[in-house]
């Protein structure tokens, strides 16, 4: 938490630096040197950082959930060894408190003073999103004392409390977004709103989406209310046009998609067995014949340079879509047959080594793994899968089936929309989409739909961006819970073959450790109190996933 104090001091020093040559005591009287930046200048960086928050932590959560596996056999997250205090996996901590946190505080304070309620509502929404994302990664965190400048010790609030805070923040955000008095102005809001161009109604839908996530994560709790989840979804995204997207111009490092080749965050991360087999027909058909393959396979994943040699990482002819087994990878840069048969990078077919690092060029890569691809923070199709799960749990199978099918259809459309800027990636045709939606991979009747069908299709939709939501889902189902209808795992074929010795037993990861950069210096007693100094702390089950 030391960063909070440093960040605020830095902001104050910056204000003094740019205030001109007048005496310090005269600064408030200088109309040409305002002390506070315009709200339209504060909002863009607060939203822009969201994709970085998701992706940089997603490098680690994505291994837990097997979106990908790592080429380094020693990679700790593949074997659920947890993050180190001063290592990765804690970007959300720093972004919530500093990169976003102080700016949001200023937006709220200044927005209330100037009666710009639309900006205040957006700021409260972003605070709710940040807290939901962060507590789903770390569990207990400081909130009520977080930004108090006279403190060097910050009390952690438990996750049950933080979930209630998220709910309260959402309701405050809604109340401000509903106001049209004061200096609420769509044109003024649009100057800083790079996501929704000042449309308060779309910000409102985003807030209801946060509520839908928040309440749906309580599916194991007695207080879980499927009707409330469905109601929140119905008030959220209407279509893919409402997707919350962070855009990237790809002109330099800071405005380039962190999933793209220029940022080079994913060179050692390759598509996993679990993901490949969801799309190549293995999971849904138990074969990989061409007719069994999902049309999204070639649009989301990458084919190996060798599409025909059967190996353990491509056990059947599936078009050449190899995978990397967890903690049993190849060495990037090796030569020979094994190298040729290796899984390609996410950036393109037959691309084994990233040759485009620091090359800020658009149209390189496919799907979300492009330098200039917009990254979603929340989507319509995700909301539909949440609705399908809630309706299924309620026993409303008609609604569940309709939402499940709508989610798949919307995700196919989303894949196409993202690939319009990709290099030489063709679209999924209307005929291909229709054929898949009518295939045996997609359940057609209420009597055949299972919770596993819903969660696996949601996993496909969330692949590559919604790492923490997928991780929340897998944790809610304790990775290996059984579908009561099929008596198979909800996440069919998901397996953790090796566990780290750091786990003190074969236990999967449930949380990340707080960043040690501040907490080891300032909050050691709190870390000790919640058990965060224990070797296996990362395996402690989350409050939201417990009964």
pLDDT tens, residue by residue, 88-137: 889 999 999 999 999 999 999 999 999 999 999 999 999 999 999 999 99
Higher pLDDT, 31 or 422: 422
According to DSSP, the residues that pair with 269 across neighbouring strands are 70
Measured between its terminal Cα atoms, the distance across the chain in Å is 31
Residue at token pair 């999924």: 428
Q: Say how far residue 94 (Cα) sits from the centre of its chain.
A: 16
Residue 340's pLDDT band, with cuts at 50, 70 and 90, is confident
Residues 6 or more apart whose Cβ sits within 8 Å of residue 378: 206, 209, 210, 237, 243, 244
> For 204-258, what is each residue's pLDDT tens digit?
999 999 999 999 999 999 999 999 999 999 999 999 999 999 999 999 998 999 9
Average pLDDT score over residue span 68-81: 84
What percent of the chain is predicted at pLDDT more than 70? 91
Q: How far apart are CA 49 and CA 45, in angstroms?
A: 6
Structure tokens at 282: 């293995």
CA angle 269, 272, 277 (to 5 degrees): 155
Residue 10 has pLDDT above 60, yes or no: no
Residue 14's pLDDT band, with cuts at 50, 70 and 90, is very low
Lowest mean pLDDT of 13-17, 34-38, 63-67, 518-522, name the range: 13-17
Helices (H) and strands (E) in the chain, counts: 20, 4
Residue 25 has pLDDT above 90, yes or no: no
C-alpha closest to that of 271 among 329, 319, 355: 329
Q: Are 275 and 318 spatial neighbours (Cβ–Cβ below 8 Å)?
A: no
């Amino acid at each position: 938490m030391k960063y909070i104090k440093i960040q605020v001091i830095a902001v104050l020093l910056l204000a003094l630096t740019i205030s001109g040559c007048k005496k310090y005591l005269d600064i408030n009287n200088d109309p040409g040197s305002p002390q506070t930046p315009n709200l339209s200048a504060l909002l863009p960086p607060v939203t822009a950082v969201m994709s970085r928050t998701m992706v940089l932590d997603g490098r680690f959560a994505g291994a837990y959930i097997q979106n990908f596996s790592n080429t380094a056999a020693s990679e700790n997250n593949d074997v659920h060894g947890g993050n180190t205090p001063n290592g990765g996996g804690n970007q959300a901590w720093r972004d919530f408190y500093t990169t976003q946190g102080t700016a949001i505080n200023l937006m709220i304070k200044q927005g209330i003073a100037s009666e710009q309620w639309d900006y205040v509502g957006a700021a409260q929404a972003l605070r709710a999103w940040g807290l939901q994302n962060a507590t789903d990664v770390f569990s207990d965190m400081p909130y009520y004392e977080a930004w108090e400048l006279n403190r060097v010790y910050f009390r952690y609030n438990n996750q049950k409390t933080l979930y209630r805070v998220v709910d309260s923040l959402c309701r405050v955000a809604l109340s401000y977004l509903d106001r049209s008095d004061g200096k609420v102005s769509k044109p003024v809001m649009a100057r800083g709103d790079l996501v929704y161009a000042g449309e308060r109604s779309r910000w409102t839908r985003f807030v209801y989406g946060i509520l839908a996530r928040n309440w749906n994560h309580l599916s194991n709790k007695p207080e879980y209310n499927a009707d409330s989840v469905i109601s929140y979804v119905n008030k959220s995204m209407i279509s893919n046009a409402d997707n919350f997207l962070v855009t990237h111009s790809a002109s330099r490092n800071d405005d380039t998609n962190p999933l793209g080749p220029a940022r080079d965050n994913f060179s050692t991360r390759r598509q996993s067995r679990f993901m490949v087999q969801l799309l190549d027909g293995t999971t849904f058909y138990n074969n990989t014949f061409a007719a069994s393959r999902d049309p999204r396979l070639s649009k989301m994943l990458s084919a190996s340079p060798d599409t025909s040699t059967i190996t353990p990482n491509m056990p059947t002819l599936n078009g050449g879509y190899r995978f990397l087994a967890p903690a049993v990878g190849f060495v990037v840069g090796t030569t020979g047959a094994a190298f040729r048969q290796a899984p390609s990078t996410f950036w393109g077919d037959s691309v084994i080594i990233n040759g485009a690092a620091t090359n800020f060029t658009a149209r390189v890569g496919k799907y979300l793994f492009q330098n200039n691809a917009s990254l979603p923070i929340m989507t319509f199709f995700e909301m539909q899968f949440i609705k399908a799960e809630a309706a299924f749990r309620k026993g409303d199978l008609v609604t569940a089936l309709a939402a499940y099918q709508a989610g798949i259809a919307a995700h196919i459309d989303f894949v196409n929309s993202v690939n319009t800027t990709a290099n030489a990636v063709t679209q999924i045709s209307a005929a291909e989409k229709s054929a898949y939606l009518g295939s045996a991979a997609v359940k057609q009747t209420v009597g055949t739909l299972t919770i596993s069908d819903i969660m696996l299709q949601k996993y496909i939709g969330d692949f590559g961006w919604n790492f923490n939501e997928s991780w929340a889902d897998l944790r809610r189902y304790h990775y290996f819970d059984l579908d009561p209808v099929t008596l198979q795992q909800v996440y069919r074929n998901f397996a953790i073959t090796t566990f780290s010795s750091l786990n003190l037993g074969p236990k999967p990861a449930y949380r990340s450790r707080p960043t040690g950069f501040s907490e080891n210096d300032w909050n050691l007693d709190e870390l000790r109190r919640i058990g965060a100094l224990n070797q296996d702390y990362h395996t402690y089950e989350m409050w939201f996933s417990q009964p």
